[in-house]
Structure 1
Amino acid sequence: MWSCWLLGVLAVAARVVLAGATGNRLLVVVESDVQPSYARFLESLDRRGYEVTLRDAASVKKDDALYDYGERAFDHIALLVPELKGLKGALAPQALVQFAQDGGNLFVALSPQLSEAWRDFAREFSLEFAERGTSLVDHFGYDRERDSGDHTAVLVGGHRAHFSAGGAANPIVFSDATRAALATQPLTYRGIAHWIGPNPLAFPLLVPPSTAYESEVPKVSGTGTDAVLTNVEQLERPGDAAQLLVGFDATAPDATAALASAVQLRSNSARVVFVGSTELLQNPSLDNVVTRAVVDDMTAWAFQEHGVLRVVRSTHERCRASEADTRPDYEEEVGVATKMYRIKDRVYFTMEVQQYRDGRWTAAPNDLDVQLAISMLDPYVTLPLEASIVGDVTRYTGTFRLPDRHGVFTFRVNWKRHGWTYLLSEDVAPVRPFNHDEYPRMLSSSWPYVAGAISTMVGFVAFCIQWIYLSSSKVPQKVE
């Protein structure tokens, strides 16, 4: 009896520990008739410690489905209804964006049969999906066992001699083991592709092979060796066909093609992931070990299981020359962040950062290239911080000298990298000029003025002496 009770407690503890950093309440919106096809995907989420709630689109359209008394009822939402036409109520684009702005995470899986409503919702994040009914096609790299003859079962990853095979694009989202496996063994992708617009907060997760392109699904006439593809769209150069998405766009700076992409909100680092294939999450695809690893990494990142950072604390204080170098209490207290600085003071800045990994908070990496900016209207000082791991935190430190300019300065760390939670630390401190009794007795710049005054006094004394001792004999007058 005690052993069973202990196993139950350990199982509950494991579910709590393995959840994401922001919570484990997950809402999965999927139609009831296709729920069995996502059984393995849902089992993996449950095994990783999430409290999965299944609902169909009709029950989620209620206005209060995502909130209880003004508070989020779920920490994450997985939307697996690409053909849903009307996004209303809790599934309205404004409601979903507000859910993300309140700290919730979204995972959206679409398909070639996506509705126009989902295309409009993706545009909220500067993502442009291809037209409904189109699909990713690759005549050079397709799964010959699973392909139906139209070459839409595209192989992503693996090795190709002359062209890029696509694959995982972000090393923070995907583990080294997943990226290494995908580089040798491809996964089968049957879905739709999209462009990433000029949004600096959006970045690709999966990129298509360079030989793939987006087109209407080719029709197959005949069987076996006599099968012929018809209505194949002519592959033109991207400059001649602006609406044609090709795999080479994945590396273009102005039109990035992607099969899966992510966006992190600027305000709270909430994560939104778009995947152009629901088939990638279904049971037959998850039989492939590489596909399962890619899907697990994408969902783990979307639900903030990894790649999560937080600022534990940040402090700054004046570097004192000695113990006798003190200031009034209204300016600073020993061991406490300084309240006010003086121009040209030397300041020691410290920021402690942690990373969420394996269900607990540990020290963050020490190679994040964090910088501190000291600014008023524009940055006056930009300082790279040095990292050192101390216990379960990573301490970033730096020493700098305040400029010869008084005013209200902001000590700001604004660090943004794709895949990591944004680090934002801001503190405001006034910087005053020297008080009248704090200037040195003699300034080197005043020597010309002092020399001028002394020379005037010496000249006046010399003139007086000469005047006093001047001979009093009368000057003979001229006789006419």
Structure 2
Amino acid sequence: MRMGFKKTLTMAKLSLSLSLFYFTVFSLLLSLSTSFDPENPSVRRILVILDDASLKSSHSIFFNSLQSRGYNLDFKLSDDRNIALQRYGRYLYDSLILFSPSADSIGDGSLKLKDVMDFVDSGHDLILAANANASDFVRNVASECGADFEDATAAVVIDHTSYSVSEIDGDHSLIASDTFIKSDVIFGRENIEAPVLFRGIGHSVNAASSLVLKVLSASPAAYSANPNSKLSKPPVLTGTSISLVSVVQARNNARVLISGSLDMFSDRFFRSSVEKAGSTYKYKKSGNEQFLMELSKWILHERGHLKAVNIRHHRLGETNEPSIYRINDDLEFSVEIYEWSGTRWEPYVADDVQVQFYMMSPYVLKTLSNDKKGLYYTSFKVPDVYGVFQFKVEYQRLVIQAYLCQNRNLIPVRPFKHDEYERFIPVAFPYYGGSFSMMAAFFIFSILYLYHK
């Protein structure tokens, strides 16, 4: 009787262990299945790190908008020691939202600066918001992405000409800015009519870098300073050089949003009315919601995300892709390019897409023709250089995905075989004539020399 009870208990433990094992495997497979899929960019997991749990409710409009668009948000506090971006060599999330500007460390040091930058370097997206109390950690992350926040203590952006008249503090630090970047790819086709409310810290970007762009700038009269103290020296950041919100389009297609204001994401700023100084018109609602919703669509690849498929190349007049080309062969190349609209892939139409046929450097650079349905094509002659080549399509345009495709297959190009050369080369006819004339002259000279008396 006792032996039967022990056997039953052992079987129950075994059954429980197997159930836990299958549950763990299922959870792992489920997490992997919801990871970033280039074929369906909107189905993604986002880690949201907050300074305070109250931000989840005070910024609920922004978070609810992301969730309504199909994103799975995982909220964690900045002091949570279980914060991790990857496990067993796999990234657990596809995007990261850092709404913890005052946190000196994330997860008590479990998430380091290197981890965040490796996350971006691996092609993932980042949304970072700071304020006047931004920690060194947040400043260093922004600096690594190409944006340098104001170093002065408690410095904020002040503007005495483009402030919101609803500001009651009198320091004109609540800015109403409408200096947006002109880009339908980022903001869509609808114009943002109302100014965007901003209260926070400004930053500068490297003007020589084509990867960092200012999407919301300060007015020429703005400057960065501490509103509670007198200016002892000229401000470091002034005028339109102050960027309020910037974006980064990395070469690996990762996208980064850097904002100097956490308040601009709040429900209060979303619902607030705006009356810009010097204007007689009062907007019932600020442009923050439209501005950030449209901007987040670009950051999260709902807009401006391209893919290249069906790369084909073959000799002119043929259909099969050869294993090797010969120099001076006539070659045809084609590729299909589509853009993600947020719900489906649509043909991308442009007249400036180019293909490179390169070895160590491009030997052929051709602009592709298109049929207005996503198919791009061209033809060219294989260069008179033998070696190993590749096809590459790079589309480096403003806020459009910079890297499209690269044919990973190596394409050997060989010289002519000995029996493939022309028997008589037309350009060598003068040399042929010189050789035969020399032979004839030598023959005549020999006859004359031998038989002349």
Structure 2 counterparts to residues 4-153 of structure 1, below 5 A: 21=41, 23-30=43-50, 31-59=52-80, 61-62=81-82, 65-87=84-106, 88-131=108-151, 132-153=153-174
Amino acid at match of 1:319: L
Structure 2 counterparts to residues 179-190 of structure 1, below 5 A: 180-182=191-193, 185-190=194-199
SS at match of 1:78: strand
Amino acid at match of 2:239: G
Which deviations, in whole Å up to 9, do the C-alpha atoms of 1:27-48 show, x marking residues without a partner?
2222213332112222212222
Asked if structure 2 preserves the Cα contact closer than 8 Å seen for 1:311 and 1:423, the reply is no
Output the CA distance in 2 between the equivalents of 1:90 and 1:289.
38
> Are positions 1:421 and 2:430 aligned together?
no
Give the TM-score, by structure 1 length. 0.76
Q: Which residue of 2 aligns with 1:375?
A: 358
CA positional deviation for 1:101 = 2.7
Amino acid at match of 1:231: K
Asked if structure 1 preserves the Cα contact closer than 8 Å seen for 2:126 and 2:256, the reply is yes
> Are positions 1:247 and 2:239 aligned together?
yes
Output the CA distance in 1 between the equivalents of 2:128 and 2:54.
19
Amino acid at match of 1:451: G
Closer, same or farther: CA 36–115 of 1 in aligned 2, 3 Å: same
Pick from 431, 434, 437 the counterpart of residue 419 of structure 2.
Answer: 437
Structure 2 counterparts to residues 309-348 of structure 1, below 5 A: 309-320=306-317, 334-348=318-332
CA positional deviation for 1:460 = 4.5
Closer, same or farther: CA 310–113 of 1 in aligned 2, 3 Å: same
> Are positions 1:263 and 2:248 aligned together?
yes
Asked if structure 1 preserves the Cα contact closer than 8 Å seen for 2:177 and 2:198, the reply is yes
Structure 2 counterparts to residues 388-467 of structure 1, below 5 A: 388-390=371-373, 394-427=374-407, 428-463=410-445
Amino acid at match of 2:92: A
Aligned-residue CA RMSD (Å): 2.6
Give the TM-score, by structure 2 length. 0.81
Asked if structure 2 preserves the Cα contact closer than 8 Å seen for 1:169 and 1:204, the reply is no
Which deviations, in whole Å up to 9, do the C-alpha atoms of 1:430-454 show, x marking residues without a partner?
2222111111221112222322232
CA positional deviation for 1:209 = 1.5
> Are positions 1:206 and 2:205 aligned together?
no
Pick from 368, 380, 390 the counterpart of residue 385 of structure 1.
Answer: 368
Output the CA distance in 2 between the equivalents of 1:429 and 1:422.
24
Asked if structure 2 preserves the Cα contact closer than 8 Å seen for 1:20 and 1:305, the reply is no
Closer, same or farther: CA 452–40 of 1 in aligned 2, 3 Å: closer
Which deviations, in whole Å up to 9, do the C-alpha atoms of 1:136-167 show, x marking residues without a partner?
1001121111342100011101xxxxxxxx22
Closer, same or farther: CA 103–381 of 1 in aligned 2, 3 Å: closer
**Percent identity at matched positions?**
28
Asked if structure 1 preserves the Cα contact closer than 8 Å seen for 2:203 and 2:244, the reply is yes
What 5-or-longer segments of structure 1 have no aligned partner?
Answer: 1-15, 158-165, 220-229, 235-240, 250-256, 321-333, 472-480
Which deviations, in whole Å up to 9, do the C-alpha atoms of 1:287-331 show, x marking residues without a partner?
1352110010122222211111111132222214xxxxxxxxxxx
Closer, same or farther: CA 54–460 of 1 in aligned 2, 3 Å: closer
Amino acid at match of 1:383: K
Closer, same or farther: CA 193–354 of 1 in aligned 2, 3 Å: same
CA positional deviation for 1:68 = 4.1
Amino acid at match of 2:288: T
Closer, same or farther: CA 20–135 of 1 in aligned 2, 3 Å: farther
Q: Which residue of 2 aligns with 1:12?
A: none
SS at match of 1:350: strand
Closer, same or farther: CA 291–429 of 1 in aligned 2, 3 Å: same
Closer, same or farther: CA 424–35 of 1 in aligned 2, 3 Å: closer
Count of matched residue positions in the alignment of Structure 1 and Structure 2? 398
SS at match of 1:167: coil
Output the CA distance in 2 between the equivalents of 1:339 and 1:317.
10
Pick from 316, 340, 347 the counterpart of residue 363 of structure 1.
Answer: 347
Output the CA distance in 1 between the equivalents of 2:71 and 2:418.
64
Closer, same or farther: CA 248–204 of 1 in aligned 2, 3 Å: closer
Pick from 185, 192, 201 the counterpart of residue 192 of structure 1.
Answer: 201
Asked if structure 2 preserves the Cα contact closer than 8 Å seen for 1:167 and 1:208, the reply is no
Output the CA distance in 2 between the equivalents of 1:145 and 1:437.
86
What 5-or-longer segments of structure 2 have no aligned partner?
Answer: 1-35, 272-284
Amino acid at match of 2:240: F
Asked if structure 2 preserves the Cα contact closer than 8 Å seen for 1:372 and 1:385, the reply is yes
Closer, same or farther: CA 409–147 of 1 in aligned 2, 3 Å: farther
Which deviations, in whole Å up to 9, do the C-alpha atoms of 1:2-47 show, x marking residues without a partner?
xxxxxxxxxxxxxx99x97163212222221333211222221222
Amino acid at match of 2:287: V
Amino acid at match of 2:375: R
Asked if structure 2 preserves the Cα contact closer than 8 Å seen for 1:192 and 1:277, the reply is yes
Which deviations, in whole Å up to 9, do the C-alpha atoms of 1:338-376 show, x marking residues without a partner?
322222222112121111103111111324x12222333
Asked if structure 2 preserves the Cα contact closer than 8 Å seen for 1:413 and 1:425, the reply is yes
Which deviations, in whole Å up to 9, do the C-alpha atoms of 1:240-263 show, x marking residues without a partner?
x5x6211232xxxxxxx3111112
Larger Rg: 1
Asked if structure 1 preserves the Cα contact closer than 8 Å seen for 2:192 and 2:291, the reply is no
